[in-house]
Amino acid sequence: MKKVVKFGGSSLASADQFRKVGNIIHEDPYRRYVIPSAPGKRHSKDTKVTDLLYRCYDTVCAGRNYHEDLFAIKSRYQEIIRGLNLELDLSGEFDKMEQRFLDRAGRDYAASRGEYLNGMVLAAYLGYDFVDSAEVICFTEDGEFDAERTNRVLSARLMQSERAVVPGFYGAMPDGTIKTFSRGGSDITGAIVARAVQASIYENWTDVSGFLLTDPHIVKDPVVIRTITYKELRELSYMGASVLHDESIFPVRKAGIPINIRNTNAPDEPGTMIVKTTGVKSPYTITGIAGKKGFVAINIEKDRMNSEIGFGRKVLEAFEHFGISFEHMPSGIDTLSVFVSEESFAPQEQAVLAMINRNCQPDIITIDTDLALIAVVGRSMKDARGTAGRVFASLAHARINVRMIDQGSDEENIVIGVKNDDFESAIRAIYQIFVDARI
Ligand code: ASP
């Protein structure tokens, strides 16, 4: 059995955190492949090493004095090395890095050093092999991640290592130029490694005890979701919930490997299992609630719209033409609304409306602004009677006016449109009825 374990920046921010990580790894001999992030924040006012690296590199490029930033970066590693009583000397690596900065090796190179150096420290601490991701995580000449090539190269390489540390976040293009994923991308590396070694599980260790049923800024201490499917997770993350990098589920989903979100600071808690399919029912009928503010509805009315073939297409063409992605399109007999994000629509409002007028000759167009969308997601919903009834009863009791309703064809989510001002109370009302009251 092989387990792939990824540790986030806060899990590796200090020597104390490294010790917790070491205990977690040594406790289970199957935890053979380890993906570290760069050292993160030690406290809320601290700066992540990745941000220090970006700043230092930008300072070098601006021709200003970068020594203070460089010193801060080196100190973070030295503090960890000293705290762990390691024999490791990184001064050669620091010199090389400084020289490459002066040679303008690129912002991606600069940022990648956070994970690279942390990987070296962790490998030395654990007594594991160190595998430089530049040799095994492949990007194309255009800077696109090359999934299949990576899978081949990486699995062949890891076959030769019983236990290894593979730094997160970066890889290299065919000419050796370092390329990073987007921010938070060590999660993606972890998933790629899990696929390559055909791991039985991908453990993602962070500083929360799993994926919360809803946003803790809105509901105080929401319960942790114990089991969630990839599909439900996609729905919730699309609507703003975050714990994992969005892109990280694809490699493991394809290979059918579950992800377990765990807390380095509370290792006895089971965390959240993210799985492909499960017979485990969610205890509250719903699995999660997430949402976003800042949408607009463009409402279009035209007599006999129902018999005008191609009307919907012509409306959507106007949005497509201006590169605006639509979220929902509820319709009546002679009415149709398109929900889009305010941010993408506002700058092009009049151009889009003019095109709709030209294409479709509607009778009336009105616009509702300041709308929020809330997704209530749950695989158990389709077999449960009255889920929608409970959602809307809770909103009615909270005196919230529902502006839009949409249910996905898989019956795993209900999306509700409300005014921005009602957003928080709507989420609290739905949480209350399903979780607190458990009706
Ligand atoms: N260190 C990188 C970042 O801060 C990548 C990661 O932590 O996943 O975004």
How far is the centre of ligand 1, averaged over its atoms, from the C-alpha of 274 (Å)?
A: 21
The set of residues, in sequence order, having a beta carbon less than 8 Å from that of 150 and lying 6+ positions away, is 136, 137, 138, 171, 192, 196
- Say how far apart CA 153 and CA 166 lie, in whole Å: 13
Atom of ligand 1 nearest to the CA of 185: 8
Q: Could you tell me if the CB of 50 is within 6 A of ligand 1?
A: yes
Q: What pLDDT is recorded for position 112?
A: 98
- pTM for the model stands at 0.90
pLDDT in tens, 65-123: 999 999 999 999 999 999 999 999 999 999 999 999 999 999 999 999 999 999 999 99
* Of 274, 270, 318, residue with least CA distance to 298: 318
SS3 202: strand
For residue 110 and ligand 1, the question of a CB distance below 6 A is answered with no
Taking the C-alpha atoms of residue 261 and residue 206, their distance in angstroms, rounded to an integer, is 7
pLDDT of residue 212: 95
- Listing DSSP states for 64-82 in one string gives S--HHHHHHHHHHHHHHHH
Whether the Cβ atoms of residue 104 and residue 134 lie closer than 8 Å to each other: no
pLDDT digits (tens, 9 = 90+) for 8-22: 999 999 999 999 999
The number of beta carbons lying within 10 Å of the beta carbon of residue 311 is: 19
179 Cα: distance to centroid of ligand 1 (angstroms): 13
CB contact burial 358-373 (16+ within 10 A = b; e otherwise): ebbebeeeeebeebbb
Nearest CA to ligand 1 atom 5: 184
Q: What share of the chain is helix, strand, coil (3-state, %, to 5)?
A: 45, 20, 35
From the list 94, 116, 129, the residue with the least C-alpha distance to 171 is 116
* Mean of per-residue pLDDT scores for the chain: 96
Q: Which residue matches tokens 């059918």?
A: 256
How many angstroms separate the Cα of 24 from the Cα of each of 51, 131, 219? 27, 21, 31
Atom from ligand 1 closest to the CA of residue 186:
8
What pLDDT is attached to residue 130? 98
**Residue 383 burial by CB count (10 A; 0-12/13-18/19+): exposed, middle or buried?**
exposed
Query: Atom 8, ligand 1: which residue's CA is nearest?
Result: 184
Strand partners, 331: 336
Best mutation site among 17, 50, 109, 118 for ligand 1, i.e. most ligand atoms within 8 A of its Cβ?
A: 50
Please provide the size of the chain in residues.
Answer: 439
Model confidence pLDDT, tens digit, residues 295-322: 999 999 999 998 899 999 999 999 999 9
> What confidence tier does 127 reach under pLDDT thresholds 50, 70, 90?
very high
Ligand 1 atom at shortest distance from the alpha carbon of 183: 9
Distance 419 CA to ligand 1 centre (A): 35
Nearest Cα to 118, choosing from 248, 10, 259?
10
Ordered by start, the domain boundaries in the chain are 3-275, 288-436
37 lines ligand 1 (CB under 6 A): yes
What value does the mean pLDDT take over residues 41-55? Answer: 97
* CA atoms within 13 Å, Cβ hemisphere of 384: 22
Ligand 1 binding pocket includes 113 (Cβ within 6 Å): no
| Nearest residue by C-alpha to atom 2 in ligand 1 | 184
Is residue 309 classed exposed, middle or buried when 0-12, 13-18 and 19+ CB atoms within 10 A define those classes?
exposed
Percent of the chain with pLDDT over 90: 92
Q: Which atom of ligand 1 is nearest to the CA of 9?
A: 7
* Phi, then psi, of 364 in degrees rounded to 5: -140, 140
> 9 CB under 6 A from ligand 1?
yes
| Helical packing angle, 107-126 and 91-102, nearest 10° | 170
Pairing of strands 413-419, 335-341: unpaired
Ligand 1, residues 48, 116, 244, 247: which to mutate, most atoms within 8 A of Cβ?
Answer: 48
Ligand 1 centroid from CA 239, angstroms: 22
Please compute the mean of the pLDDT values over residues 141-165 and round it to a whole number. Answer: 97
Kindly give the distance from the C-alpha atom of residue 277 to the centroid of ligand 1, in angstroms, as a whole number: 29
Measured in Å, residue 36 CA sits from the centre of ligand 1 at 9
pLDDT tens digits for range 195-231 = 999 999 999 999 999 999 999 999 999 999 999 999 9
Question: For residue 114, which atom of ligand 1 is closest to its CA?
Answer: 1
Fold match between 3-275 and 288-436?
no
Pairing of strands 364-377, 413-419: antiparallel
- Residue-level pLDDT at 281: 84
- Nearest atom in ligand 1 to 51's CA: 4
pLDDT at 81: 98
Atom of ligand 1 nearest to the CA of 245: 8
- Residue from 53, 187, 46 nearest 112 by CA: 53
- Check pocket membership of 185 for ligand 1, CB cut-off 6 A: yes
- Nearest by Cα to 7 from 29, 32, 38: 38
Q: For 254-275, what is the mean pLDDT?
A: 96
Q: Is the CB of 210 under 6 A from ligand 1?
A: no
CA of 439 to the centre of ligand 1 (A): 41
Which homologous superfamily is 288-436 in?
Answer: VC0802-like (3.30.2130.10)
Name the residue type at position 426.
A
- Contact status, residue 211 vs residue 269, Cβ threshold 8 Å: no
Q: How far is the CA of 187 from the centre of ligand 1 (A)?
A: 8
The band of 169, judged by pLDDT with boundaries at 50, 70 and 90, is very high
Smallest Cα–Cα separation from 323: which of 341, 304, 300, 306?
341
CATH topology of domain 3-275: Carbamate kinase (3.40.1160)
Taking alpha carbons only, the member of 325, 326, 158, 187 closest to residue 247 is 187
Alpha carbon distance 223, 200 (integer Å): 27
First to last CA, the chain: 42
